[in-house]
Amino acid sequence: MELFVATNNAHKLVELGPALPGHVLKAPSEAGIVGFDVEEDGSSYLENAAKKALALYRLVGRPSLADDSGLSVRALGGAPGILSARYGARTAGEGEARPGSLILLEAAERNDFLLGNMAAMEDRHCAFVCCLVLVLDEERIFAVQESCPGLLLREPRGRGGFGYDPVVFLPQLGKSVAELSLDEKNRLSHRGRACARMAVLLADLGQRP
């Protein structure tokens, strides 16, 4: 099946491709949509993923897939959670470019900010969460959500992956998520597990009208 993916993040397409074999994944730009962006103002991963998938479907009129994901840290009451990409962001002040706009941290800065907030915390339990929503048409919408539990490190490890991957340790493997091979990550990560469930769903849909 040809699926348009509601993201401008090239890393996500790289991960999703092998995790959904037999399907052709396309970025919004391949439908002539430049700068696809949807405000993620939902109260859950599901709400955000559904909003993005529906928005893209309404633009391209083809099956559309969206994900919303983040890192939940138990000692922080589940934060950064659905605000993971905006964690540590600040509002630009007077005298700065575009006053009032949101200034996001780079991934490494965000990781440092998180580790700083967790410096005195002994409970390091955390989990990556991923919700995938598939829209075939306005009346046919499917969703799966999975997680990848781990422990928050005290300093980054590994050069692979992206986002919070270098600061999440998987005890069963003795590696950070950033130290996993792409095959390992596709099998064990929150996104990989969600994709595995979505692949089963897509296979089933392929047998039905």
- Structural domains in the chain, CATH included, are 2-205 (3.90.950.10)
Burial category of 9 from C-beta neighbours within 10 Å (exposed 0-12, middle 13-18, buried 19 and up): middle
Q: What percent of the chain has pLDDT over 70?
A: 99
Q: What is the mean pLDDT of residues 89-109?
A: 86
Question: Tokens in use for 71?
Answer: 């890192």
**pTM strictly above 0.75:** yes
pLDDT of 96 higher than 90: no
Q: What is the mean pLDDT of residues 96-123?
A: 92
Q: What percent of the chain has pLDDT over 90?
A: 73
Q: Is 37 a known active-site residue? A: no
- Looking at residue 11, its pLDDT comes to 75
Q: Cβ(186)–Cβ(177) under 8 Å?
A: no
Q: Which residue in 37, 41, 67, 68 is the catalytic one?
A: 68
96: amino acid identity, one letter: E
- Cis before residue 80, ω within 30 degrees of 0? yes
Q: Give the C-alpha separation, 7 to 33, whole Å.
A: 11
